[in-house]
Amino acid sequence: MCGIVGILGSHPVSQDLVDALRRLEYRGYDSAGIATVENGHLERRRAEGKLRNLEQRLLEDPLQGMTGIGHTRWATHGKPTESNAHPHMSDTVSVVHNGIIENFRTLREDLAGKGHVFDSDTDTEAVVHLITEELNNCDDPVQAVREAIAKLEGAFAVGIVFAGHDDLMIAARKGSPLAIGHGNEAMYLGSDAIALAPFTDEITYLEEGDMAVLRRAGAEIFDKDGLPVKRPAIRSQVSSFLVDKGNHRHFMAKEIHEQPEVISQTLSHYIDMAEGRVDYPDLGIDLSDLTRVTISACGTAYYAGLVGKYWIERFARVPVEIDVASELRYREAPLPAGGLALFVSQSGETADTLAVLRYCRAQGQRIASIVNVRTSTIARESDVVLPTLAGPEIGVASTKAFTCQLAALAGLTLLIGRARGTISPELEQELVQGLLEVPRHMAEIMADETQYEHLAHDLSKARDVLYLGRGINYPLALEGALKLKEISYIHAEGYAAGELKHGPIALIDENVPVIVVAPEDELHDKTVSNVQEVAARGGKIILISNGADDAAGCELMAHIQVPDAHPFSHPILYAVPIQLIAYHTAVFMGTDVDQPRNLAKSVTVE
């Protein structure tokens, strides 16, 4: 997760910017930089590696400006070089940015045709030149940013300063979080409140689509329609904590809402945006001759692996064996020569998963792991590590770690398929584009949670809830049921929709809600047939779909509309509604959402 900071201060801000960035180091990064407004022009210092390298650069060549922005960057578009580090700037504009600009290639080509010269491989630089071009047309920074933001597609957060404007900073968010800090004749900007804790405890969180104009005397905030709005200032309590809830009631809610940002980070880590293709590390095995992939994990990570099985078998045409770690480790499964063993874990310390890893290594398998903690035991004992850039996940019920695991698995699928010739360059670009649109679609889903709040009232009365899904949506049904029972303590089960008539249909009556994951894909009509079977027996149907809300004439308890998206991306996108259903139900029932009974975040014993 990249980090953004900004300060409109009363003294040189370079050291304060570095100190604020240090509080964001927990997010992980591979380069850092700051830019300030000095005597009417922009100055910048950047460095690869850790903040100490940037500090050394500032010792050698100080900055004295009292207005500045800073950034810690995970390499996304382009390698982790100084030229790709943020802030990016022209003579008149400097920008720091989190997220993905989906249409940056189109913007870049258009701006290059107008004479703009690009110095980096990043999508962020397209934002810089787009704002610069708008400034050439109107000479009003606020209007220029408003016009530029309207042309950006994706999920992002930006902080912007301008040459000749010492008392001005502009921020905007669409899918990635931003917070404003209020000081005494000073204003602050941060991607979360932790960065701002040393300077102020009065925080305003921007809402989706907001643009803020900061001056030392205060901030004006405009909503997505450009209308002035008031956002509440709250007292932050984060100074003594490493991670805080922000303006959310629970860590789980915060982590659900962080998904557009962290999915952007994870996808960008594995995708060459300029080429529209995946760019993974060498796995140390001939993928073109891969005989089998063996996946093992526990809990939610297992369901991510199950989605991976569907993807890899369908698109890469490689047989996949998958089992929960606690079973695979004891059944002594035979493993073929030349196989790849893949392990999925949020913490990287899961005892059963680690034991299976060691078994597979003894069987001569190449070991790869998808983990959120690069220094974990599973990561250290793997031949290759595929990190999920989710940042710390505090809530016991996994949300953003799950979707980042899916993002890493999606990219791995493309890598294997390309190596085996089952995915053409054209198809790879199509699937990559579908993945890159996910953060924006996620932000759309989370823009209004009223429907989930109302639905929670009815679900809280249920003793049993069923989840149904077909094909690649079956693992989502399993994950949805797990989420609901983890945090609300309502009994829930997930089933393959085609198995409904083979037993589970006996459970259905007018008191049993049935949540159906049914995007409009090649299996949609078959799933709707199962919905009709439920309706005929009085079941209460909650449909999660991008299609029509009548489910072939069935009366619905609720229809949760999901944006149209590429079918390849459906498992990542449809994870959000099932998370929100579970979260709001648990909140309504008053359970301990972040620390549900009997559960632990990392299971390090059998």
Nearest-10 Cα torsion for 56, 120, 214, 232: -100
Q: Scanning the structure block, which residue is given the tokens 């249920």?
A: 462
In CATH terms, the superfamily for domain 3-247 is Aminohydrolase, N-terminal nucleophile (Ntn) domain (3.60.20.10)
Percentage of the chain exceeding pLDDT 70: 95
At 604 the pLDDT is 44
Strand order in the sheet with 41-48: 41-48, 31-38, 67-73, 3-8, 187-190, 179-182, 202-205, 233-235
Q: Tell whether the model's pLDDT for residue 418 goes beyond 70.
A: yes
Q: Tell whether the model's pLDDT for residue 242 goes beyond 80.
A: no
Is 501 catalytic? The answer is no
pTM reported for the whole predicted model: 0.78
Q: Is the dihedral of CA 146, 147, 149, 154 positive or negative?
A: positive
Average pLDDT, the chain: 89
At 52-76, the pLDDT tens digits run: 999 999 999 999 999 999 998 866 5
Please state which architecture CATH assigns to domain 254-436.
Answer: 3-Layer(aba) Sandwich (3.40)
> What's the average model confidence in pLDDT over 422-440?
95
Q: Is the dihedral of CA 523, 525, 526, 527 positive or negative?
A: positive
Q: pLDDT category, 80, cuts 50, 70, 90? A: confident
Better-scored residue on pLDDT, 552 or 224 = 224
Q: Tell whether the model's pLDDT for residue 603 goes beyond 70.
A: no
In this chain, the answer to whether the domains covering 254-436 and 444-589 adopt an identical fold is: yes
At 23 the pLDDT is 79
> What's the average model confidence in pLDDT over 129-158?
93
Q: Which two tokens stand for residue 454?
A: 């109302």
Q: Which of 2, 360, 404, 554 is catalytic?
A: 2
At 66 the pLDDT is 96
At 344 the pLDDT is 96
At 274 the pLDDT is 80
Q: Is 30 exposed, middle or buried (0-12, 13-18, 19+ CB in 10 A)?
A: middle
Residue 168's H or E segment, with its range, is strand 165-174
**Rounded CA separation 532/542 (Å):** 12
What would you measure as the largest C-alpha separation in the chain, in angstroms? 76
**Rounded CA separation 314/410 (Å):** 12
**Rounded CA separation 397/579 (Å):** 9
Domain ranges of the chain: 3-247, 254-436, 444-589
At 551 the pLDDT is 61
> What's the average model confidence in pLDDT over 335-345?
92
Q: Tell whether the model's pLDDT for residue 441 goes beyond 90.
A: yes
**Rounded CA separation 497/534 (Å):** 11
At 353-396, the pLDDT tens digits run: 988 999 999 999 999 999 988 878 889 899 999 999 888 888 88
Q: Tell whether the model's pLDDT for residue 595 goes beyond 60.
A: yes
At 240 the pLDDT is 37
At 239 the pLDDT is 47
**Rounded CA separation 343/427 (Å):** 27
Is 601 catalytic? The answer is yes
Q: pLDDT category, 241, cuts 50, 70, 90? A: very low
Strand, coil or helix: 161:
strand
Nearest-10 Cα torsion for 102, 107, 112, 115: -140
Q: Where are the alpha helices (DSSP H) in 342-488?
A: 351-362, 377-380, 400-420, 425-436, 438-445, 450-459, 474-488
Q: Which of 151, 224, 485, 601 is catalytic?
A: 601
At 469-519, the pLDDT tens digits run: 999 999 999 999 999 999 999 999 998 888 878 887 878 888 889 999 988
CATH 3.40.50.10490 fits 444-589, yes or no: yes
Residue 156 contacts residue 101 (beta carbons within 8 Å): yes
> What's the average model confidence in pLDDT over 139-162?
94
Residue 189 contacts residue 5 (beta carbons within 8 Å): yes
Residue 8 contacts residue 169 (beta carbons within 8 Å): yes
At 244 the pLDDT is 67
